Amino acid sequence: MDRAYRNVLLEAGCTAEEIQKRTAEAFETIFYGPDCFYHEFGDDMGYMEDTGNHDARTEGMSYGMMMCVQLDKKEEFDRLWKFSKTFMYMESGYHKGYFAWSVTPEGLPNAQGPAPDGEEYFAMALLFASHRWGDGEGIFNYSAQAREILHTMIHKEEEGGRNMFDPVNHLIRFIPEKDYSDPSYHLPHFYELFGAWAAEEDRAFYKAAAEASREYLKKACHPVTGLSPEYGTFDGKPYTGEWDVFGRHDWYFSDAYRTVMNIALEHEWFGRERGYAWESGIAEKVQKFFCETVKEQPRAVYSIEGEILEDTALHPVAITASNAAASLAIDGELEGNALACVKLFLDTPLRTGDRRYYDNCLYFFALLMLSGQYRIY
């Protein structure tokens, strides 16, 4: 789409050359440097390793594809997609048409079920690839593959399975079998585009899902801190059930960091031109909490009210990245907490060590967002 994209890093004092260099170095680090977690597999495939769990996940595979299509890296994109379709796509059984959320680096399944955030990103990345590079044959007919995923996500119950979206309230489920959500899965800016580019019979559903998710995010983010829980009920409250199965997830922890990033990208793509002040409001609250309450303290695990629940966050760099990305949702001159969050991000290197995968994925998305390089194709 022919539109202008805000470049927050330029506003923060970076030069275009510095931004280009930082982007290229970050991509090299993630994909090819000594600390990379992209690995080639065979002659024509590749995977993104979750370095903390030593597996490949639909989250990371689809993230990698989005990174590649944004930077015009077709070879790596195709390698990731072929690995995903070869080893993760389930061709039979209860979850036929979905992707197993975790496989080994050799492609052996660790799970028999999907995680909907993977399917969302697969579909969006494939549609962008179709528009940027054109459709090929077979699995590289990107638009056909994307529309098939989007159709399955909302029609699986017709085959006796479970949809990824609740068919009544249009909200995405945490997993198809559970009737609750994950606020960080809510991507109204993706659904808006699905409503234009999915199969004709599916477009109305995705348009409704975009509006439903916007209303959901208003409720899921705390009215004072702006923080969201990892899992939430369909009415936007923290989900506190089944801790014996999935552990505790009613707090501001790993998944939840993505919520304000998603809101910021939604604001850049659609919210600003429509005057969605609530998106700016949530971003301001999150940044205020970290700049004025947390201040110089180490990153921790918080309740959505802002109480410290555990001393150490598992992914501290991801918090810094998401806080900076939130600045894209704050209109007007870059100043105050918004500028402080961007400056801290610029002073923060990519993470090293076993847990670098998730932190550096969010870091790279924040870098693309803040430099006007995360675009609609």
Where do the domains of the chain lie?
A: 9-269+276-370
104-122 mean pLDDT:
97
The two structure tokens encoding residue 373:
């390089």
124-151 mean pLDDT:
98
253-279 mean pLDDT:
98
207-222 mean pLDDT:
98
For residue 247, the model assigns a pLDDT of: 85
**Is residue 261's pLDDT more than 80?**
yes
pLDDT by residue (tens digit) across 177-201? 999 999 999 999 999 999 999 999 9
In this structure, are residues 268 and 279 in contact, taking their beta carbons and an 8 Å threshold? no
pLDDT by residue (tens digit) across 153-180? 999 999 999 999 999 999 999 999 999 9
For residue 153, the model assigns a pLDDT of: 98
Within 8 A by CB and 6+ apart from 348, the residues are: 317, 320, 321, 363
Selection from 375, 328, 322, 329 nearest residue 348 by Cα? 322
Residue 371 half-sphere exposure, CB side, CA atoms within 13 Å? 22
pLDDT by residue (tens digit) across 231-258? 999 999 999 987 767 789 999 999 999 9
Share of the chain above pLDDT 90, in %: 97
Query: What is the Cα–Cα distance from 182 to 257, expressed in whole angstroms?
Result: 11
291-301 mean pLDDT:
97
Share of the chain above pLDDT 70, in %: 99
For residue 243, the model assigns a pLDDT of: 73
- With vertex at residue 128, the alpha carbon angle to CA 126 and CA 134, rounded to the nearest 5 degrees, is 85
- With vertex at residue 362, the alpha carbon angle to CA 25 and CA 243, rounded to the nearest 5 degrees, is 150
What is the set of active-site residues? 59, 255
For residue 150, the model assigns a pLDDT of: 98
291-313 mean pLDDT:
97
| CA end-to-end span of the chain | 6
Selection from 192, 191, 181 nearest residue 234 by Cα? 181
Mean pLDDT of the chain: 97
How many residues are recorded in the chain?
377
For residue 1, the model assigns a pLDDT of: 62
CATH level 3 topology of 9-269+276-370: Glycosyltransferase (1.50.10)
Positive or negative, the CA dihedral 167, 168, 171, 174 is negative
For residue 246, the model assigns a pLDDT of: 75
281-292 mean pLDDT:
98
For residue 242, the model assigns a pLDDT of: 74
115-128 mean pLDDT:
99
Query: What is the Cα–Cα distance from 233 to 304, expressed in whole angstroms?
Result: 14
